[in-house]
Amino acid sequence: MGTRVRRGILRRGILSGAVCVAAAVATIASTAPAGAAPVYPPLPADPFYRPAAAASSSTPGDVLGIRRMPTPAGITGADTWQLSFRSTNSQGEPITAVTTVLAPVGKAPDGPLLSFQHVINALGPQCAPSQTLWTTDPNLEIREAVGLNVALQRGWTVAIPDHLGPTSAYGAAKLGGQITLDGIRAVQRAP
């Protein structure tokens, strides 16, 4: 890979992270009470991202909500859904998490499932894949569409979890692993 190409990729990565971090900082600063330091960035205004009351009485991977979404730009031959599901945070407490599902049109029942952990190098729920897949910002667009389209053409369903969870817990590897596994369970249990 040439030096120019590597620098371009690095710049795009830094830019996309900087855009999300700047947006997260602005959102946190604008919603924090005067004099109080917020612990977590606020959740999106969309009620789909709110913690579900059923999370505490359900098991990991149980589907708590499902909705149809438009297929993201660059993705072809797929129906798109978002699932809200029950997972577990790093302290073992129930949480609500989200995964985006790209299912090949005419998908066979019980076909292969690929869980793809899209890179998130920023803080704030506005940087989660379930948000950035539909962005018009070229610095945040999905660059892996070509590879995902190959999987879809082969009949694979693709799940893209918001693996940092509802509090954007950057670097919480146990949480990310738990959300990924519970997201797979949720996709397998969804109608």
The strand pair at 63-69 and 94-104 is best described as unpaired
Instruction: Report pLDDT for 140.
Output: 53
For residue 50, give the nearest of 110, 102, 17, 96 by alpha carbon: 96
Residue of 118, 97, 112 lying closest to 167 (CA atoms): 97
In the numeric block, the tokens 């692993």 are attached to: 177
Strand, helix or coil for residue 189? helix
Structure confidence at residue 3 as a pLDDT band (50, 70, 90): very low
CA distance 34 to 87: 33
Q: What is the pLDDT of residues 96-155, one digit of tens each?
A: 999 999 999 988 888 899 999 887 767 777 888 888 888 776 655 567 788 899 999 999
pTM reported for the whole predicted model: 0.77
Q: Any idea which residue has 């590897």 for tokens?
A: 173
- pLDDT tens, 5-59? 444 443 444 444 445 554 544 444 445 555 565 567 777 788 888 888 878 889 9
Whole-number Å distance between alpha carbons of 119 and 111: 25
**Domain 3-189 annotated CATH 3.40.50.1820:** yes
DSSP 160: E
Domain ranges of the chain: 3-189
